[in-house]
Structure 1
């Protein structure tokens, strides 16, 4: 599952916090060797990267 800023906001995070989590997750992916995530226009990351930043969190997989 890929996670975007909007998904994090729907999960209850404030917009700035959601952006920060996404930025940290992208940095984690780059450290893992996925240079694709260095791009500014990349706006989604795998849920595993999100979990590495904030721990095990339940995100809704359904679009409302």
Structure 2
């Protein structure tokens, strides 16, 4: 089990430079993708954190730390 899973929120994406609405949409798309992969915990409106790796797959590029 990997204990070094990095997570990200829309606020982190805003700090990187994304617009607020764009960052929120990225998180929504990532959560939807995670639910389709079988991670039903992400089918929760109040959960706002997702794995950074999943966001990078949605965006198609690596995020810097």
Q: TM-score range by the shorter chain?
A: 0.7 to 0.9
What is the rounded CA distance, in whole Å, between the counterparts of 2:21 and 2:64 in structure 1? Answer: 18
Q: Equivalent of 1:54, from 34, 59, 62? A: 59
Q: TM-score, normalised by structure 2?
A: 0.86
Can you give the 5+ residue segments of structure 1 that lack an aligned partner in the other structure? none
**Structure 1 stretches of 4+ moved >4 Å:** none
Q: Say how many residue pairs are matched.
A: 60
TM-score (structure 1 length as normaliser): 0.87
State the secondary structure of the residue aligned to 1:27.
helix
Judge conservation of contact 1:8–1:59 (CA < 8 Å) in 2. no
